[in-house]
Chains A and B, each alone.
Chain A
Amino acid sequence: MTARLAAPAALVGAVAVFGLVAFSSGPARADTSSTTTAPTTVSTVPGAQPGTVQQTPTAVTAVPSPSAAAKNAAPSNQGGIIYTDLPASFIAPGQALFAANCASCHGPLANGVVKNGVAIAPNLEGLGAGTVDFWVSTGRMPLENISAQAIRKPPRFNRIQTLEIAAWVQSLAPGQGTKVPLVKTAGADLESGNTLFTLNCAACHTISGAGDALAFGAYAPSLHLATPTQVIEAIRSGPGNMPRFSPGNITDTEARDITAYVTGVLQHPNNAGGAGLGGIGPVGEGFVGLLIGVGVLMLVCFWIGDRQ
């Protein structure tokens, strides 16, 4: 019985991990002008060398492959999001990476450090791999300045190392927190994403996703670099000042629609009217209207008029 399930289970795990690496390491692109988008799909082709990731520019292939079957069989696939369990083999290297890079603040057991009654760094026990993945893959951790809001910067770790750290933190409290999501934005409902984004996100992140300053020195970051995985992780874990949205507030299907809207429409806005001017609305437009519009016409006056 156990032996019979071992091979498919290993396949599920392998596909999920490779999918994670391929999907969540770069910004996804979705065409804003059409719902029938054709993002890159990752599938392990039968006959290919083990571990080969092949990117095909077409949508899901019609030919049933072992990987497609494996995906359908994945237990946690809801509404286009697959929450993956990271392999146990990631835990040991993850602990080593944590000890070398994170333990100086969070402590070797990741249970936080308190100095003179002040928490220097929070306890990470109970966090899911998805939360850790968000903070590390956006470069916010390791922190640059402990007194200011963490800023997005180039990540210090590669995709595998990030997931290894995440796997180790997850192993401290198995089953708790947010798992690392695998998102496929193709086929998501952009209209629903648009509505939900306006309702839930635009009040801080602005309607164009450019981000803006909030009170007391905090700010809502720009969403223009977020990957689909990071968007889901942020919705589910609520990093920093952001509220956490549970599946009761925003279902997996809705979260995927929002993700498709963020990575597809906001990151590639339909600037049909010409230069986007930063997507910050009338402030940029006023500068252009006055400096270029009125300014150029004043130069024309100066040109055709008498200067004495």
Chain B
Amino acid sequence: MIDKSLNWVDDRLGIAKGGRTFLDKIFPDHWSFMLGEIALYSFVILLGTGVFLTLYFVPSGHEIVYHGSYVPLRGQRVSEAYASTVGLSFDVRSGLLMRQAHHWAADIFLGAIAVHMARVFFTGAFRKPREFNWIVGTLMLILGIVNGFLGYSLPDDLVSGTGIRIAYSITESIPLVGTYLSFFLFGGNYPGSGIIIPRFYVLHVLIVPAIIVGLLAAHLGLLVKQKHTQFPGKGKTEHNVVGSPMFPTFIAKTTGFLFMASAVTFGLGGFAQINPIWQFGQYEPYQISYAVQPDWYMGWLDGALRIMPSWEWVGWGHTIPLEVFLPAVVFPGLVFNILIVWPFIESIYTKDTNYHNLLDRPRDRPKRTAAGASMLTLLFAVFFASSTDVMANFFQLPLLDVLWFFRFFVPLAPIVAYFLTYKICNEMRAAEGIGKRKRALVVSRSAEGEYSTVKSEPRPGDAHEELEAIPVPTYIDTTHPDLATAAGVRRVIR
């Protein structure tokens, strides 16, 4: 019966062939290959909780009088967006849990993308033939950040309203087109004609998620088409993939992981409060609270704005506010562009045009690892700069001292990180027996009482357990002094 109906479907759609490929797809077992799945599943949770929220949220800047159950707001004139979000939190069954899970899932989504991206970068998984997938992933990161900001702004509370104000100024700071763009987006001078919430809403729930879903399909489609990368090891070559098949092993593991991700997200949503907008109140352009930060994934942009000296250029009747334009437009533009073109920069630099299905160990590519560490350090340094006020208050330091510390720390820390990482990588590569199976050390005592340590005999099979060294392009540091002198270094050049 089942056979018959499946045949009926297959006769018309021909899914058996593709389905077999899909069910037999091999997934490497290494834990670091599951990081992307955190992002995937938090995106699934975002879609689910997001649909729930749209049932109750009213995307409108229209002012009404609040009559809900949070007493300190009763009688205040608030926007429908704000009132419905407070109502969602207090007067809708499980509404607060859904709202908080949605917000936590967004934080986790972007965190997981960052971690996944770091894994892909440091192991060289972006190399030919996977440059496209790296770009697709980077675009999803950018859109995720944009959509996070849009969603954060929707409740129209005091804290997020401050963020919209900053976004308006950033748009305005773009030379020549800035004023026009900001008027176009907001429908006039700030705060605009009350259309920004409905516009953000359409972008947040429809347009950006639709693009992300499309990119996600491309990301996974390319993954199936190009197959997984894998770490080198016993039996693993450039021409195979060692791991578990989609069915039955991986499907069980990954379904379990979906439940784990849901558990963590909803656990946080139930027990840890996030964005209690009823405490913040409705946004009014003439009001502000101190200690206002964006969500963490926007923190690096906020930090860059904070530490920038107030420079501006005036001439020919125009002002270019470099203090806003450089940190908030040029800086993120540079970061994202470097990320997107990195695979091509690297292949031009290394003249490496081969296919790569086996991954690098980060220490075997010290320059790339150092560059990545340097970029991460830069982003983390500006990220921490976005909490200058909270740090100053917490550590009881003068605010301006903290600010000036970051003005030096942000440009210097990446340089230090680069050389430190480079050094560490080279020393790790030079260490004896690295990448080989560990052999037991036998401590023996002589008749005179002298202790000595010798390595145990190799066990059967040890020779085969050694990791196959990867072909290293000749440019990479084989002449480094650490390597030339050290014993046991792997210098296999094919």
Residue ranges of A at the interface with B (Cβ–Cβ < 8 Å): 32-35, 190-191, 193-195, 198-199, 202-208, 210-217, 219-220, 261, 265, 269-277, 279-283, 285-286, 288-290, 292-294, 296-298, 300-308
Contacts and interface: CB of A to CB of B under 8 A. Distances in A.
A269 B279 contact: yes
A211 B393 contact: yes
Interface in B390-431: 390, 392-393, 396-402
B289 A288 contact: no
B32 interface: yes
Interface of B: 28-35, 37-38, 69-76, 89-90, 96, 100, 104, 107-108, 111-112, 115, 158-159, 233, 253, 256-257, 260-261, 264-265, 268, 270-276, 278-281, 287-296, 299, 387-390, 392-393, 396-402
Question: Nearest 5 CB-CB pairs, A to B?
Answer: A305-B31, A286-B296, A289-B107, A273-B273, A213-B392
Contacts of A203: 287-290
Contacts of B293: 281-283, 286
B75 A191 contact: yes
A274 B76 contact: no
A202 B288 contact: yes
Given A194-B76, A271-B276, A304-B253, A285 B281 contact: no
Nearest to B233: A308
A276 B290 contact: no
Contacts of B275: 281-282, 285
A293 B31 contact: no
A113 B115 CA distance: 61
Contacts of B31: 301-307
A194 B73 contact: yes
A293 B264 contact: yes
Nearest to A282: B293
Contacts of B396: 219
Contacts of B112: 294, 297
A217 B399 contact: yes
Nearest to A288: B272
A304 B392 contact: no
A185 B293 CA distance: 32
Contact of A191 (B28, B73, B90): B73
Contacts of A205: 290
Nearest to A307: B31
A275 B291 contact: no
A199 B287 contact: yes
Given A214-B399, A217-B399, A283-B390, A304 B34 contact: yes
B108 A215 contact: no
A288 B272 CA distance: 8
B89 A212 contact: no
Q: Which of B76, B90, B390, B401: most chain A CB closer than 10 A?
A: B390
A304 B120 CA distance: 20
Contact of A210 (B265, B268, B291): B291
Given A202-B158, A213-B398, A292-B264, 13 more contacts: A33-B71, A191-B75, A194-B72, A217-B398, A217-B401, A219-B393, A269-B276, A274-B273, A283-B293, A293-B268, A296-B264, A300-B257, A305-B33
Given A190-B71, A270-B70, A305 B32 contact: yes
A304 B250 CA distance: 11
B272 A207 contact: no
A297 B290 contact: no
A207 B296 contact: no
B108 A297 contact: yes
Contacts of A292: 264, 268, 272
A39 to B, nearest CB: 15
Given A274-B273, A288-B268, A290-B107, A220 B290 contact: yes
Contacts of A212: 290-291, 389-390, 393
Contacts of A282: 159, 275, 293-296, 299
A306 B234 CA distance: 14
A204 to B, nearest CB: 6
B108 A294 contact: yes
B289 A206 contact: yes
A68 B265 CA distance: 55
Nearest to A209: B279
A257 to B, nearest CB: 10
Contacts of B399: 213-217, 219
Nearest to A269: B279
A194 B278 CA distance: 11
Contact of A298 (B76, B90, B115): B115
Contacts of B278: 270, 272
A301 B398 CA distance: 42
A191 B68 CA distance: 12
Contacts of A283: 291, 293, 387, 390
A301 B389 CA distance: 35
A243 to B, nearest CB: 15
A218 to B, nearest CB: 8
B296 A290 contact: yes
Contacts of A273: 89, 96, 100, 272-274, 276
A198 B284 CA distance: 10
A290 B111 CA distance: 6
Given A34-B71, A270-B279, A289 B289 contact: no
A265 B72 contact: yes
Contact of A213 (B89, B276, B389): B389
Contact of A293 (B111, B158, B294): B111
B272 A275 contact: yes
13 contacts: A202-B290, A207-B280, A213-B389, A219-B393, A265-B72, A270-B70, A275-B271, A280-B390, A285-B295, A286-B299, A289-B107, A294-B115, A305-B33
B272 A274 contact: yes
